[in-house]
Amino acid sequence: MKISKTIAFIFTAAILTAVQFTGIHAQSSAEIVRLTAAISKSPENDLLYVERGMLYTWLEKFIGPNVPFADIGKTIDDNRENAKADAEKAMKINQFNYNAYRLRGIVFRSLRRSADSEKDFQQAAKLRSESKIVASIYKLDVSGGKTIYPPYTETVPVLNVIVRGDQKGLLDGFDTSSAAKEFAKRHKMSQVIMFNTDAKKYFLYEAFITENIYPNIQLAETPFSKAIKGKSKIPLTYEFLKIEPEYSVQPAPKDAELDPYPVKWKVADIIDAEGLTIFKNPKVPLLRGSKGLRLLFDSELGASNFAEALKIYQWLEKVNINGNDLDVVKTMRRTNLGKLYRASDKLRPFVEKEMSKWKYTEEEKTAIRGTKI
């Protein structure tokens, strides 16, 4: 056992020396060792440098556990230097990597270099707003309630991302998000809707899914996104990405470091070819069966996503086509029609048509119109 530990130590030290790390007091960990080995195999992968650099911040304290008192100062200095070196290496490889600037900004802030940290955070916010990657697709093991991680790393639970491509529609933009959606719907296009904070207008861009792998992610952050290979086979549809409980499409998470800075571009929505938004409310539990759909249905109505709610209703009608005589199907239909009726005046003609289709009595119609949600 001691021999194995000695060999592991020598191997780790050799790798750290090979990538020109400074100081012997810099703290390591199993993840840092893993990333260092990965970098030695893929030295042009800037994502690995940023990931390792963030580990060297030790949750922005720049020191981990079990450091001798006499070594604290040197360890903090070395961890800062290593994090900064990784950030700058990533910048050199990919000048569009906003996380590299964010990382260095964190280092500068810990050094009380306020002007430098502000400059880096502003640049990071700008690059993030201009990123071609507009959303992440998480895949979950619904039965076990666990996120399915990519095989190459357990620190980034994202299998696929949605990328915006060429601009579509009106070149000078649309006045409202609804107008942009209607245009995309008429042309049957899956689209990313971006809001320009300067022009106060909405712009449409081609939307496609790609695997979250190197070098796709690097290319997606550059003007050369057309070079991305191996687009995902996942269909960009409401049914697959939102009704199916295994998938969850989420925009970039809030970032306390970058969100305060004004930016030119913001992601307003991502829609499928029918004009339906595919962002999933993270507060809605990912559950199989009628309970999960019921929660999603209620969520869409609560967000005034009436077209999306109708899609769920129609999807349920389709899958239950052979069970129309079952009491549970009849009850679900009546309940959903009542919710649609109460949600908006715009939905009432549809509800009236459905009630006539199913030959409801006047008493049943009255109950649906007055059903409490």
194: left (phi over 0), alpha (psi -120 to 50) or beta: beta
How far CA 328 is from CA of 324, 332, 333, in Å, comes to 9, 6, 9
Q: What pLDDT sits at residue 280?
A: 87
β-pairing, 191-196 vs 247-250, is unpaired
According to DSSP, residue 7 is labeled H
Give dist(CA 153, CA 55) in Å, integer: 14
pLDDT tens for the chain, 373 residues: list them: 433 433 333 333 333 333 333 333 456 788 899 999 999 999 999 989 999 999 999 999 999 888 899 999 999 999 999 999 999 999 999 999 999 999 999 999 999 999 999 999 999 999 999 988 999 888 776 665 555 554 444 444 577 889 898 899 999 999 999 999 999 999 999 999 999 999 999 999 999 898 877 777 777 766 666 667 666 788 999 999 999 888 889 898 889 999 999 999 999 999 999 999 999 887 776 666 677 788 899 999 999 999 999 999 999 998 887 777 788 889 999 999 999 999 999 999 999 999 999 999 999 999 999 854 4
pLDDT at 21: 33
Indicate the fold that domain 2-128 takes in CATH: 1.25.40
Nearest Cα to Cα of residue 72 among 80, 269, 335: 80
Per-domain residue ranges of the chain: 2-128, 133-271, 289-369
Residue 13 pLDDT:
33
With 0-12 / 13-18 / 19 or more C-beta atoms within 10 angstroms meaning exposed / middle / buried, residue 198 is exposed
The pLDDT score that the predictor gives to residue 4 is 41
Q: What Rg do the C-alpha atoms of the chain give, in angstroms?
A: 26
Measured N-to-C along each axis, helices 72-93 and 98-110 cross at an angle, to the nearest 10 degrees, of 160
What secondary structure letter does DSSP report for 360? -
How many residues appear in the chain? Answer: 373
At residue 17, the pLDDT reads 30
pLDDT for the residue 147: 55
